[in-house]
Structure 1
């Protein structure tokens, strides 16, 4: 069974190690000790916690409007190239660079510009960009 350090779990969850420690101290994450006495998080318990957090976010509406697209990358528009019909939108989401071709009309309707926060939704071969 895989285990994760507090730091590894924090990177996976995209939160600070202190947040993971608080969740562990509150009993929300199953924590044990490795051979050196360091706190470790059980991989199965971490997976369960991630699913529960995602379900909570979905119930609270934090995930945005209802959609069948499950791969959502929040990021910032870093480049925007447009002609009369098509626009090329570059988004940086953490270490991930996502490039999407959309209509110029969509860019105008969403008010997209360099520096704007967006959500790139990826399904199959399509990337949908929603303003967040």
Structure 2
């Protein structure tokens, strides 16, 4: 059985918070990038417009990939869960993020992960999983 600790929970909380907070930053970046592409296109600088668009897409894709990879690692460490076959990163994030804490505990339990987040939780979990 794998044991998830408070550090695993903190990593999960950190990446989830970052995903939520970065949404506005990425939206603003996308708007600024679109304005730069439009400016170049209107000025007749098609190469500049294309380059600005590609750079913007590359940065957005890199940030999205970094965050989703971090989220998947954090969920795997905390709950033992990975995306299902064919499940997109966005769908996986939604599935996990929309669960309540009890769902996370059940998911961890079904994946043979013991959540040892503090002494009280560890005692409760060990009593709940004991098979006498």
Normalised by the size of structure 2, how large is the TM-score? 0.28
Q: Which structure has the greater CA radius of gyration?
A: 2
Larger % of helix: which?
Answer: 2
Give the structure-1-normalised TM-score. 0.28
Of structures 1 and 2, the one scoring higher in RCO (CA 8 A, sep 6+) is 2
